[in-house]
C-alpha cells in the first residue's frame, strides 16, 4: 500500500496535458496559459517561461497562482506566434538558476532539443479513447457464411490447427483462409472485449500471406472477400462503435505490381520513374531490405504521388471515400521517400495528411517507425507512430526474460533495464515530440513483426499489460495476446486465433478485460498527464492526472522494501488490486492503482 503524501514526487513538473496547458490546440494568435508546479525545497522566488518566437528567445514572467504546504503553482501566458513553439522554464532561487525542460530539472543551460512543444496541429479527438486491436486477416477467423472454395496460386493451404512454418520458405506462403468476412462475423467478440478501434494489416492482393508485396492497390484481395467484404466489415464495425484503419506501403510495392512490371519493361512508360532502377536494363533496382520482391518507390515522381497519396485520385483517398475507412497505418514510414541524397519523407507525410483532411479532422494517420521517430513527428505530418522505441523496447528491457538477441536489427544482446532506466528511456523519447502526438502514438507490447510478449516476458506478462493500459498513448493488442497465444520470432507470432475457449488463458483474458474497463472508466488514464513519482530496480510508481481525477499507479516486478504503509485520503480502485487476486497469486510482484482524493 502506498501513501501519496509520503512519496517524494519530482520537485518540478509540467507536461502538455490539460492541467498544465490551457489550450491543447491553439490557433495562431491565441493566448495560452502554461503552468508549472514547484516544490518548496528549491526555494524558488521567480519563474519565467523561455519561449522561442520567430527564432528568437523571449522570457515571460510567471505569476504565483496557488500554494500548498509542499509546493507552489506558477502560471504564465504566452501567445501562439508560430505553428510550432518550443518553450522551457527558468526557475530562480536566491543563489542559482534552474532550467526545466522535457527531460527534467537542470542546474546548467541545456540545448533546445528537449524543450516542450506546442503546435497548432490537431490530432483526431477520438485518439484519447482509442483501444486498438491488430488483426492479421489470414489468421483471425474463417467465415461461416462465406466459405472459401479456392486458394491463391502462391499459397500452401493449411488447416486452422496446422503449426506455423516459421523461419522456413513456407512461412510466408501458408494460407489459413481467414477473411474480412470472418472478422465481421466476430465483431461482437471485439466489442465485448472492450476494444473500439481495429487495425488491419494489408488487405490488397499480393503473393504472400503478409501482403506487404502488393500486386495491386485498386481492389481488396478477393481471397479476403474483396471490396464487398471490406465494406461490410467497416459498416458492421461502425455499428458496434469500432473504427477501422488500413495498412499501406508507401515505401514499396510487390514486384508483380503492374506499375513495376510496366516500368521495368517499358523505359518510356509514364510509370518509368515510379521506382529506383540502378542499371540500364532495369534488372537491378533498389528494394526494401534488399528483398527483390519489394521494389522501392521513387517519390520524386509527381505522377506516383498522385496515384498513391496526393489528392482525390489516390489510394489514400479512395478507401476513405468509397469504404469509409477511418485512417491508415503507413508501413516502414521511416524509409519512405528516403534514398541517398533524396529525403522526401516529411513531404509524403504532409501530403498524405492533406489528402485525408479533405474528409474532416477525425481520420487517423499513423506511421510504422521502429526507431526514434521524433524528426518525423512534429505535428504537421503523421499524427503518431507505432511506439516501438519509446514504449515497446523499454518494457521489453525491463520485463523481458527470453530475449537472446536484439530483435530490431542490432548485432547485440537485447538490453536489460531497471525500472529507473525504463522511466528515463520513455521520458527521453516522449520529450522530443508534442504532447498531442504522444497521445496519438500506438503503444504496443508486440505485433505481427515481433515475438509475442508472452514468450518474451514469461510470468511478467501481466505487468506489461498493466503498463500498456495505464500509460499515455493508444494501447494496441495484437490479436490473440488476450487469450495467451505465444511465439518466439516474427513468423512464429502469427498463429491463428484460438476459437476453442478451452485453450484460452482465462486469467490473462480476464486481466485484459479488467484493465480495458478501468481505462474506459477513468479519464485520467486516457488523457491525463504523466508524472513519475518513484522508480527503482524492480518498481515504477507514476501519476496520471487531469481536471477530473488523480490516479497513482504502482507496477513492480519483484518484492521490495515498503516505501510507505498505507493510503491516506485515497481509495483503492475496485478490482485493481491484482496482487491479491487469482491473476498473479504465485508472483512477488504486482500492479496497484489508487484514486487520490
pLDDT digits 0-9 by tens, 312-342: 999 999 999 999 999 999 999 999 999 999 9
Split at pLDDT 50, 70, 90, the class of 451 is very high
Average pLDDT over residues 237-262: 98
Count the domains in the chain.
3
Burial status of residue 541 (CB atoms within 10 A of its CB: 0-12, 13-18, 19 or more): buried
Domain that holds residue 109: 26-119
- Determine the pLDDT at residue 407: 74
Residue 595 has pLDDT above 90, yes or no: no
In which order are the strands placed within the sheet that holds 550-556? 529-535, 539-545, 550-556, 590-596, 570-572
Residue 117 has pLDDT above 80, yes or no: yes
Q: Residue 301 is placed in which grid cell?
A: 515522381
Q: Give the domain CATH number at 256.
A: 3.90.400
Average pLDDT over residues 136-149: 96
Closest residue by Cα to residue 429 from 466, 478, 401, 392: 392
Can you tell me the distance from the alpha carbon of 50 to that of 426, in angstroms, rounded to the nearest whole number? 24
Can you tell me the distance from the alpha carbon of 400 to that of 416, in angstroms, rounded to the nearest whole number? 8
In a domain, 107, yes or no: yes
Q: Is 439 helix (H, G, I), strand (E, B) or coil?
A: helix
Q: Transcribe 271-333 into DSSP letters.
A: TTTSB-B-STTS--B-BGGG-TTSBBB-TT-HHHHHHHTSSTTSHHHHHHHTT---EEEEETT
**148 against 295, higher pLDDT:** 295
Split at pLDDT 50, 70, 90, the class of 571 is very low
In a domain, 393, yes or no: no
In a domain, 421, yes or no: no
Of the residues 90, 119, 148, the one at which a domain ends: 119
Residue 552 has pLDDT above 70, yes or no: yes
In a domain, 264, yes or no: yes
Q: Residue 568 is placed in which grid cell?
A: 491516506
Residue 181 has pLDDT above 60, yes or no: yes
Split at pLDDT 50, 70, 90, the class of 563 is low
In a domain, 436, yes or no: no
Residue 6 has pLDDT above 60, yes or no: no
Average pLDDT over residues 240-256: 98
Average pLDDT, the chain: 92
Of the residues 72, 98, 119, the one at which a domain ends: 119
Total H helices, total E strands in the chain: 14, 27
In a domain, 51, yes or no: yes
Closest residue by Cα to residue 407 from 444, 348, 437, 452: 452
Sorted by sequence, the CB contacts under 8 Å of residue 387 that are 6+ apart come out as 373, 429, 441, 442, 443, 444, 473
Q: Give the domain CATH number at 588.
A: 2.60.40.1180
In a domain, 134, yes or no: no
Split at pLDDT 50, 70, 90, the class of 397 is very high
Residue 54 has pLDDT above 90, yes or no: yes
In a domain, 94, yes or no: yes
Q: Give the domain CATH number at 92.
A: 2.60.40.10
Closest residue by Cα to residue 136 from 48, 199, 217, 58: 199
Residue 578 has pLDDT above 50, yes or no: no
Of the residues 296, 325, 360, the one at which a domain ends: 296
Average pLDDT over residues 266-272: 95
Q: Residue 528 is placed in which grid cell?
A: 491525463
pLDDT tens string 515-534: 999 999 999 999 999 999 89
Lowest-confidence pick of 287-291, 494-498, 536-540, 583-587: 583-587
Amino acid at each position: 500500500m502506498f501513501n501519496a503524501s509520503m512519496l517524494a514526487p519530482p520537485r518540478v513538473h509540467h507536461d502538455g496535458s490539460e492541467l498544465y496547458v490551457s489550450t491543447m490546440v491553439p490557433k495562431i494568435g491565441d493566448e495560452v496559459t502554461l503552468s508549472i508546479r514547484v516544490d518548496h525545497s528549491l526555494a524558488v522566488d521567480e519563474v519565467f517561461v523561455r519561449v522561442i518566437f520567430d527564432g528568437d528567445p523571449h522570457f515571460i514572467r510567471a505569476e504565483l497562482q496557488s500554494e500548498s504546504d509542499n509546493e507552489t503553482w506558477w502560471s504564465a501566458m504566452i501567445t501562439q506566434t508560430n505553428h510550432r513553439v518550443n518553450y522551457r522554464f527558468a526557475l530562480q532561487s536566491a543563489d542559482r538558476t534552474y532550467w526545466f525542460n522535457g527531460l527534467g530539472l537542470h542546474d546548467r543551460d541545456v540545448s533546445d532539443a528537449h524543450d516542450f512543444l506546442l503546435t497548432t496541429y490537431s490530432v483526431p479527438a477520438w485518439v484519447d479513447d482509442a483501444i486498438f486491436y491488430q488483426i492479421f486477416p489470414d489468421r483471425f477467423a474463417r467465415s461461416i457464411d462465406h466459405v472459401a472454395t479456392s486458394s491463391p496460386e502462391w499459397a500452401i493451404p493449411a488447416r486452422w490447427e496446422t503449426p506455423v512454418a516459421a523461419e522456413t520458405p513456407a512461412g510466408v506462403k501458408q494460407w489459413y483462409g481467414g477473411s474480412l468476412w470472418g472478422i465481421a462475423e466476430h465483431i461482437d467478440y471485439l466489442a465485448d472485449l472492450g476494444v473500439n478501434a481495429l487495425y488491419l494489416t494489408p488487405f490488397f492482393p499480393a503473393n504472400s500471406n503478409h501482403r506487404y508485396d502488393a500486386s495491386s492497390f485498386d481492389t481488396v484481395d478477393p481471397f479476403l472477400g474483396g471490396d464487398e467484404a471490406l465494406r461490410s466489415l467497416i459498416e458492421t464495425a461502425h455499428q458496434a462503435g469500432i473504427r477501422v484503419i488500413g495498412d499501406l506501403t508507401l515505401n514499396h510495392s510487390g514486384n508483380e505490381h503492374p506499375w513495376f512490371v510496366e516500368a521495368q519493361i517499358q523505359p518510356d512508360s509514364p510509370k518509368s520513374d515510379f521506382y529506383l532502377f540502378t542499371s540500364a536494363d532495369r534488372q537491378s533496382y533498389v528494394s526494401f531490405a534488399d528483398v527483390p520482391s519489394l521494389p522501392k518507390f521513387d517519390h520524386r515522381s509527381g505522377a506516383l504521388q498522385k496515384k498513391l497519396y496526393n489528392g482525390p485520385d489516390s489510394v489514400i483517398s479512395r478507401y476513405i471515400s468509397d469504404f469509409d475507412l477511418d485512417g491508415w497505418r503507413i508501413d516502414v514510414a521511416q524509409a519512405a521517400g528516403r534514398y541517398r541524397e533524396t529525403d522526401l519523407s516529411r513531404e509524403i507525410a504532409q501530403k498524405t495528411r492533406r489528402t485525408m483532411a479533405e474528409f474532416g479532422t477525425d481520420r487517423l494517420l499513423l506511421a510504422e517507425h521502429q526507431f526514434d521517430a521524433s524528426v518525423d513527428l512534429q505535428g504537421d505530418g503523421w499524427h503518431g507512430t507505432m511506439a516501438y522505441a519509446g514504449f515497446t523496447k523499454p518494457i521489453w528491457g525491463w520485463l523481458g526474460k527470453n530475449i537472446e538477441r536484439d530483435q530490431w536489427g542490432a548485432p547485440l544482446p537485447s538490453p536489460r533495464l531497471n525500472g529507473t532506466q525504463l522511466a528515463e528511456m520513455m521520458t527521453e523519447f516522449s520529450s522530443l515530440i508534442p504532447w498531442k502526438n504522444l497521445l496519438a502514438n500506438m503503444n504496443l507490447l508486440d505485433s505481427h513483426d515481433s515475438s509475442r510478449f508472452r514468450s518474451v516476458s514469461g510470468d511478467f506478462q501481466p505487468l506489461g499489460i498493466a503498463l500498456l493500459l495505464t500509460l499515455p498513448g493508444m494501447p494496441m493488442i495484437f490479436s490473440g495476446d488476450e487469450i495467451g497465444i505465444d511465439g518466439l520470432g516474427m513468423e512464429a507470432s502469427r498463429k491463428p486465433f484460438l476459437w476453442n475457449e478451452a485453450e484460452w488463458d482465462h486469467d490473462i483474458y480476464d486481466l485484459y478485460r479488467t484493465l480495458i474497463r478501468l481505462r474506459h472508466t477513468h479519464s485520467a488514464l486516457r488523457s491525463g498527464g504523466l508524472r513519475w513519482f518513484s522508480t527503482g530496480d524492480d518498481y515504477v510508481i507514476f501519476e496520471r492526472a487531469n481536471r477530473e481525477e488523480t490516479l497513482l499507479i504502482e507496477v513492480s516486478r519483484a518484492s521490495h522494501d515498503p516505501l510507505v504503509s498505507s493510503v491516506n485520503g485515497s481509495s483503492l480502485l475496485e478490482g485493481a488490486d491484482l496482487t491479491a487476486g487469482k491473476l498473479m497469486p504465485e508472483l512477488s510482484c504486482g500492479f496497484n492503482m489508487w484514486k487520490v482524493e
